[in-house]
């Protein structure tokens, strides 16, 4: 295969294609893709798609290396690799985009709308290295500003609905998404500004000092084009919502939702953002559907996203006149994702994370229930899981000195706390025994999924490290005191 690729002889292409279909070995498959790439097989791009999501890191890299970016659609495919959990895959994607014959900075700028933080960070790095035209930046900034005003209008309409945890969570999510859009605008403007002044202003705009923030807003208005500053500055100023929306409706076709809940709910469900759909459906499950068309709910009940599908079916089951879809193939998902998000918000290590980030954590967690007196973790055993206490309380104990030493209770922790986090960072045996005091319910994070998650949301690891440092200090002092008493 290597010789066939080096030969540049097109006669080998047909044989290599047949081998690609029949071969199962990952290393051999990588060699076949390399050979076809060297032979410039014109059909290779269409044959690579199945390998883009392959479990083998080396095969994904080989497929990415062989892929030829020829248009915007191909560029978008490679951009998604910027979110791959494997650093080598990220680097290959960056190299592919930066050095490719086909480039479109506007596609990169528009891809900042992708909700994955790791993808956005990769795009920002690329934008710093590529030439961005002023028109591309202006178009992107204007599109983000328009979406930001839509978020304001949606939040305003939601605030007129009856207050509930579901409504408040949806408001939080939409508000946070608006902040992301504005942050993206400022970052792109900073990249474009060679003088570095925009980056200084960006820091001032996020300052907790009101005067510094006000001065930065004033300076921003003079730095950017007046047609952009006119619509961007109101998003940054601390002014009443009605004035801000007045500017938005003057420049963009923002709908008037009024008191009509069905229009608002339908609008949110049609946005195509899965977290927004999920939270809107959760709200409807509690407060009613308000004549939202059944066809829209039926479509969501067949969604590829299992959490959206589950919640849509719950909403449909509450409608008296609906024909419930067949639930025979629906998996038992236990606690809903929106319920997991509510619980995760109460856990200290996740403080400050956005709803979208909490949804990512909740979607990879596993729900487990224990009876009173059960041992959840045993000292000395190996483990690769962290436990988040959703309901109940546990005792933390450690063996005393000597073979027959009695166990020493170090601590008692309850709802909203966590344990077992050391297993996510090292392979050392469990340092203490955890036993339930009462019937308890946990969300469990496994090491592999957690590792991939912190690549996307590094703030989670930082929070855990801070909390871990304080907990170790506290337990060490308590253990020392217990030993002195003995």
- The pLDDT score that the predictor gives to residue 157 is 93
- The pLDDT score that the predictor gives to residue 167 is 94
Average pLDDT over residues 162-173: 94
- The pLDDT score that the predictor gives to residue 151 is 95
Condensed to tens digits (0 to 9), the pLDDT of residues 418-454 reads 888 878 877 888 888 999 999 999 999 998 888 877 7
Identify whether 324 is part of a domain. no
How far apart are the C-alpha atoms of 219 and 229, rounded to whole Å? 10
Identify whether 330 is part of a domain. no
Condensed to tens digits (0 to 9), the pLDDT of residues 180-207 reads 899 888 888 887 777 888 888 888 888 8
- The pLDDT score that the predictor gives to residue 232 is 93
Identify whether 143 is part of a domain. yes
How far apart are the C-alpha atoms of 396 and 375, rounded to whole Å? 10
- The pLDDT score that the predictor gives to residue 101 is 83
Handedness of CA 139, 208, 151, 277 (dihedral sign): positive
Q: Which residues form the domain of 406? A: 338-485
Last residue of a domain, one of 222, 251, 280: 251
How far apart are the C-alpha atoms of 472 and 426, rounded to whole Å? 15
Place of tokens 């066809």: 295
- The pLDDT score that the predictor gives to residue 473 is 75
Q: What is the mean pLDDT of the chain?
A: 85
Place of tokens 């200090």: 473
CB 441, CB 343: distance < 8 Å: no
Residues 187 and 311 in one domain: no
- The pLDDT score that the predictor gives to residue 198 is 86
Per-range mean pLDDT, top range of 191-195, 208-212, 348-352, 422-426: 208-212
Identify whether 329 is part of a domain. no
- 349: number of CA atoms within 13 Å, CB side? 25
How far apart are the C-alpha atoms of 329 and 141, rounded to whole Å? 44
Condensed to tens digits (0 to 9), the pLDDT of residues 257-301 reads 877 888 999 999 999 899 999 999 999 998 887 778 888 999 999
Residues 232 and 296 in one domain: no
Residues 276 and 361 in one domain: no
- If you write DSSP's letter for every residue of 11-75 in order, what string do you get? GGHHHHHHHHHH---HHHHHHHHHHHHHTT-TTHHHHHHHHHT-S-HHHHHHHHHH----SHHHH
Average pLDDT over residues 339-367: 87
Per-range mean pLDDT, top range of 415-419, 467-471, 473-477: 415-419
Residue 433 phi, psi dihedral angles, 5° rounding: -100, 135
Identify whether 125 is part of a domain. no
How many structural domains is the chain composed of?
4
Identify whether 333 is part of a domain. no
In this predicted structure, the answer to whether residue 330 has a pLDDT above a threshold of 50 is no
The two structure tokens encoding residue 412: 């008692």
In this predicted structure, the answer to whether residue 324 has a pLDDT above a threshold of 50 is no
Residues 243 and 266 in one domain: no
């Amino acid at each position: 295969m290597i010789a066939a690729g080096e030969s540049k002889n097109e006669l080998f292409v047909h044989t290599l294609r047949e081998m690609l279909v029949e071969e199962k070995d990952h290393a051999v498959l990588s060699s076949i893709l390399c050979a076809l790439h060297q032979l410039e097989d014109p059909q290779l791009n269409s044959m690579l798609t199945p390998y883009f999501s392959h479990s083998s890191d080396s095969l994904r890299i080989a497929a990415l290396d062989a892929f030829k970016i020829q248009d915007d659609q191909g560029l978008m495919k490679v951009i998604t690799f910027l979110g791959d959990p494997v650093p080598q895959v990220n680097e290959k994607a960056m190299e592919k985009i930066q050095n490719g014959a086909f480039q479109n900075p506007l596609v990169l700028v528009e891809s900042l709308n992708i909700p994955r933080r790791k993808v956005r960070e990769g795009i920002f790095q690329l934008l710093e290295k590529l030439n961005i035209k002023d028109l591309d930046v202006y178009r992107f900034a204007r599109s983000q500003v328009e979406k930001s005003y839509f978020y304001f209008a949606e939040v305003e309409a939601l605030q007129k609905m009856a207050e509930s945890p579901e409504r408040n969570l949806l408001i939080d999510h939409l508000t946070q998404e608006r902040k992301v859009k504005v942050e993206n605008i400022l970052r792109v403007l900073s990249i474009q500004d060679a003088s570095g002044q925009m980056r200084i202003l960006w820091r001032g705009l996020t300052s907790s000092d009101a005067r510094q923030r006000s001065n930065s807003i004033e300076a921003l208005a003079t730095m950017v084009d007046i047609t952009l500053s006119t619509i961007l500055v109101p998003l940054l100023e601390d002014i009443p919502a009605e004035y801000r929306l007045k500017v938005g409706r003057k420049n963009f076709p923002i709908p008037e939702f009024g008191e009509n809940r069905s229009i608002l709910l339908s609008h949110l469900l049609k946005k195509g953002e899965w977290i927004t759909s999920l939270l809107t459906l959760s709200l409807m499950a509690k407060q009613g559907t308000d004549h939202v068309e059944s066809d829209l709910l039926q479509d969501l009940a067949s969604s590829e996203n299992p959490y959206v599908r589950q919640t849509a079916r719950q909403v449909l089951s509450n409608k008296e006149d609906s024909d419930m879809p067949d639930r025979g193939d629906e998996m038992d998902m236990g606690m809903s994702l929106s319920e997991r998000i509510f619980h995760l918000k109460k856990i200290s290590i996740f403080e400050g994370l956005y709803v979208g980030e909490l949804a990512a954590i909740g979607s990879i967690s596993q729900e487990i229930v224990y009876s009173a007196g059960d041992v959840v973790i045993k000292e000395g055993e190996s483990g690769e899981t962290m436990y988040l206490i959703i309901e109940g309380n546990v005792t933390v104990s450690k063996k005393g000195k000597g073979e027959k030493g009695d166990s020493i209770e170090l601590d008692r922790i309850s709802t909203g706390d966590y344990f077992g986090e050391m297993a996510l960072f090292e392979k050392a045996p469990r340092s203490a025994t955890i036993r339930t005091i009462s019937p308890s319910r946990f969300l469990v994070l496994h090491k592999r999924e957690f590792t991939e998650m912190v690549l996307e949301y590094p703030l989670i690891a930082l929070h855990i490290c801070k909390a871990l440092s304080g907990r170790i200090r506290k337990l060490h002092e308590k253990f020392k005191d217990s030993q002195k008493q003995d």
